Amino acid sequence: MTTVVNNIAEPVKNDKNSKLILSLLFDGIGMLSYLVPVFGEAIDFIWAPISGILLIVMFKGAVGKLAGVFGFIEELVPFIDFIPTFTITWFYTYVIKGGKEQN
């Protein structure tokens, strides 16, 4: 599974604009569970590990690992998956830190 994710994320590893678009997309996917009230939280059990792995692959170093763990937990805990973890991680990485760790 990690190999497949690495192959998909490889072209955007160092492109901040592509990462922003993917971050918005992945946050949107995470929020889709609100559209299906009864099964939404069950969907989060599937999305949680995928979300965590994607965060680790997209964002290098300690930031990616911390975001991956937070993203995984955030998707598992009911009613808090409205937090845009991918976008917040992108903002922290490229606006606050200036993308220094991503080179």
pLDDT, one tens digit for every residue, the chain (103 residues): 556 555 555 555 568 899 999 999 999 998 888 887 777 778 888 999 999 999 999 998 899 999 999 999 999 888 788 899 999 999 999 999 887 766 5
Residue 7 lies in a domain: no
| Domain membership flag for residue 35 | yes
Q: How far apart are CA 49 and CA 47, in angstroms?
A: 6
Interatomic CA distance for residues 22 and 18, integer angstroms: 6
* In a domain? residue 9: no
Q: Does 3 fall in a domain?
A: no
Which tokens go with 84? 């845009």
Helix, strand or coil, per DSSP, at residue 98: coil
On whether residue 77 sits in a domain, the answer given is: yes
pTM: 0.81
Measured CA to CA, the distance from residue 57 to residue 5 in angstroms comes to 8
In terms of residue numbers, what domain contains 52?
15-102
Q: How many domains does the chain have?
A: 1
Residue 30 lies in a domain: yes
What is the chain's alpha carbon radius of gyration, rounded to the nearest angstrom?
A: 13
Residue 10: inside a domain, yes or no? no
In a domain, 8, yes or no: no
